[in-house]
Amino acid sequence: MSIFFLTLLLMIILITVSSFASEEEDALLGLKSGIVDRSNSLQDWSKVNQTDNGSSSICIWSGITCLTDPHNNSVVIGLDLSQRNLSGSISGKYINVLRNLVLLNLSHNSFTGELPAEIFTSLANLTVLDISRNNFDGHFPTVPSNAQKKNQLSILDAFSNSFSGPLPDQQLSKLEFLKVLNLAGSYFEGPIPASYGSFKNLEFLHLAGNLLDGEIPPELGNLKTVTHIEIGYNSYMQGSIPSEFGSMTQLQYLDIAGANISGSIPSTFCNLRHLESLFLFRNHLTGSIPSCFGNISSLKNLDLSDNSITDPIPDTFAKLINLRLLSLMYNQMNGSIPRGIENLPNLEALLIWNNFFTGSLPLNLGLNSKLKWVDISNNNLHGDIPHGICYGRTLSRLILFSNSFSGELSNSLTNCSSLVRLRIENNSFSGDILALKLSLRYGATYVDLSRNNFTGGIPENLMAEALKIEYFNVSYNPGLGGIIPSHIWSLPALANFSASFCNISGDLPQPTPNFKCSSSISTVELSGNKLSGDLPESIASCEALNVLDLSHNKLSGSIPDQFGSSSSLALLNISFNQLSGSVPRSNNFIFTDASAFIGNPDLCGAPLKPCSGALAALSLSARRKSVKRRISLICFGVVLLVAVLICLLLYLIWHQKVLWKMISFTGLPEFTAKDILRSINSTYVNDFSTETVQPPLLSSSSLNICKVVLPTGITVSVKKIEWDSKRRQVISEFINSLGNVRHKNLVRLLGLCSNKSCGYLLFDYYLPRENLAANIVRLTKARDAATTTRSTSSSRWAVKYKIITGIARGLCYLHNDCHPPIPHGDLKASNILFEEGNMEEPHLADFGVKAILRMLNNGTTNSISSTVDDLIESASIKEEMYRDICSFGEVILEILRNGKPINAGGSNTPSNPTAAESFIREILDENDEVKLGTSEEAEIKLVLEVALLCTSSKPSNRPTMDEALKLLLSGV
């Protein structure tokens, strides 16, 4: 009997194990049914895959980890679906079955919907839960009280999702094994729960980048095991940093940047003897830096920039032997820089610009460390540049402008081959500039020596080897003298050369017989010198030359006709010279003011006084020739247009009957092509067949657009593109890459419905008037601004600032987080959209559309073999990104000026210090709610500075979007 019962028990166990294995298999297949797997990475999740004995084995499926006992019975303990290009939803019904899971990793995908509560109610053995970088939304599930004690969870990473509502409260804090809690980058609201201070084993806490408010709870100071805390980039109720934070004795990293906190820095921070990084920038902190900070010997990174901190840098900082970054810029600090800083062996970045520091730099700064970045501009410092500042040959950026420095460069920069960016304008430096020869030879790209007292001219051999220089400015050095180096027209990277008011004489460099202008040179400013001779006509052949200022010189002769036919020259200023003859008739000069030509008594023709006699006859003959050319071109254009229309008609007839294909991206149900076409039909053309649908499309700045309601009631915007069948694959590949772009400040591309001749792009729908261009005036009215946002306490400037940073985040994502980068191509106020009733969160529309248009217009040669990367590269992606940045600056200026039109580099932006000050006053007047002397005034000035940097006439002088965003958020 005992043998019988033992056999029966064994059979029951085997049946139970087999049954449970079958349940897990069915659960995984059920889970797969709700997942959109565009890359087919879960193709082996199938009952077809069996082991050698013929039974189904889920343990060999992708992403599955099993635990097998000595009897060869297996259970699933790990499910890792990270970075598989998956979307869709996760069903709690099937998660509930996988009760033995120890690890669940869904990160770096595009899952949507609510996170199943079953993860916390049923998976008692789960130790690692990683759902980061998805799009889960709704409220975060709570942990039932009966599951808290037995739950083994130690890592909970939900970074970068779309959760809303309050942070999960007390139930979560009772997970006694939790070590990592990352809830950053969503839309959580409300205060940080005080219960978060009761975690027993927490080491990592990240809550930054949400919509949290309230005060920072002092109870967080009870976290005795925490080493890393990030709670910045929220909008806490303005209050101080709790002094209790000084009790977190194991803390190594603390970031509360951009958090609306005020008050002074707690002296209790000096108890944090393991602290390595402290980031408190872009707040409202006041008072002085506690001198006991010098006792935190572990400190490596200290950034207190963009606050209202006063008083000198404590002398005790000389003891911070591990310090690498010291950033105190944009404060109200004063006094001299402590001499002891020169002895810090690890110091790499000293950033203290925009303060009131006095005295000289420490004499041996750079001798004992490997400095990389020094920015001490806009202070009241004087003396020489320390002779050892580049001793370690690592200094790449030296920014000293707007101080009272003096002396010669040869004492400090003679052998600085590592230097990339040098800005020492608006000081009192003297002597010659030959000391920069090594820097220019080895890689300096930006050099500004203007408004100093340099002499000795610009040596020819200095510029000859400057193969990487992009920006060179020596203007307003009245004693410089010398002549213009001949190499300025042909240096491969040079885009801006400025040497105005330098007492330079001689002729403009004459081109050689094999003269070929550099493809990069865009701006040459040589006004206020003693240049003589004729205007070399070949200069007009410089294809990139956009600005040429030769005013206030002694140039003679006539203006070559080539200047009138230049395809790029937008601004030519030759006023106050000795030129004669007729101004060439050209479209280039139609909008050029007479001020560009005045001061030349013998010069005539529009926009100056009419010419007479022989000159007038010549002008009349030129006009007649121009009229004949125009008539010829018009006739040719009409013939060409008729031919194109005939070809287009034949093309459309030929492609009437073709097959359609539908691709759905994140956020769109799996509609068929027939669903999409039927929806377009039912909305616009009731009697068209699904194969030949051609809806009446409204015009757009880029592609045709219409509004369509899909079967489930989803409303989308549809844009139509037409392509050659040979280019379909290349363009659709690029559109697929756009479909995978996901950021809260970008309008989502939801799908592509296409055939051989055309395609329909489906985007999130926004009301036609919900864009920045239509609503920018509403931002000037405090009551209107408040009623259009979720926070009625938002000031006009706060709303504007949030819009600006939102635009920057979206553009930064396209430029820096997409591979390859995606230039927007058409950034303007009308392409910045808002959801109805929320004027704080902008969404960029039409990104990448210009690239699609370029692909459509690209030649057909080798089009079949061309790849997306090839097309993007051929379209000069770097130039497009520069244009994006300029457009971003123009949008900022438009917001600052309440919708008034902006012409970057034109009369609406400052061109000299006096005009700049006037411009700042004008901006402050436009934002009259901002009180002088407040942090908001400083914030406006910072935003304006970013805008002017972005709209610089020299593209390479513009910051990258990553740099622009950092400047906006931190002043760095």
Rounded Cα distance between 266 and 254, Å, is: 13
User: Could you tell me if residue 565 is left (phi over 0), alpha (psi between -120 and 50 degrees) or otherwise beta?
Assistant: alpha
| Chain-centroid distance, C-alpha 718 | 27
User: Could you tell me if residue 67 is left (phi over 0), alpha (psi between -120 and 50 degrees) or otherwise beta?
Assistant: beta
C-beta of residue 255 within 8 angstroms of C-beta of residue 231: yes
Radius of gyration of the chain (CA): 33
Q: What is the DSSP letter of 198?
A: G
Strand order in the sheet with 86-88: 35-37, 86-88, 110-111
How many other CB atoms sit within 10 Å of the CB of residue 91?
Answer: 17
Q: Is the preceding peptide bond at 607 cis, omega within 30 degrees of 0?
A: yes
Q: Which of 549, 826, 846, 884 is catalytic?
A: 826
| Closest of 927, 923, 944, 888 to residue 772, by C-alpha | 888
- Residue 233 DSSP SS3: coil
Beta bridge partners of 964: none
How many other CB atoms sit within 10 Å of the CB of residue 184?
Answer: 23
How many other CB atoms sit within 10 Å of the CB of residue 57?
Answer: 16
**DSSP one-letter string for 327-344:** E--SSEEEEPPPGGGGG-
| Closest of 362, 401, 403, 365 to residue 381, by C-alpha | 403
Q: What is the 3-class SS of 901-959, one letter each residue?
A: CCCCCCCCCCCCHHHHHHHHHHHHHHCCCCCCCCHHHHHHHHHHHHHHHHCCCCHHHCC
Rounded Cα distance between 468 and 485, Å, is: 16
- Residue 311 DSSP SS3: strand
Beta bridge partners of 497: 472, 524
- Residue 12 DSSP SS3: helix
| Closest of 795, 784, 839, 789 to residue 930, by C-alpha | 795
Contacts of 90 (CB under 8 A, 6+ apart): 31, 34, 35, 106, 111, 113, 115, 116
Rounded Cα distance between 723 and 755, Å, is: 10
C-beta of residue 228 within 8 angstroms of C-beta of residue 205: yes
Query: How many CA atoms within 13 Å lie on the side-chain side of 772?
Result: 30
Whether 826 sits among the annotated catalytic residues: the reply is yes
Exposed, middle or buried: residue 856 (CB in 10 Å: 0-12, 13-18, 19+)? middle
Catalytic residues: 826
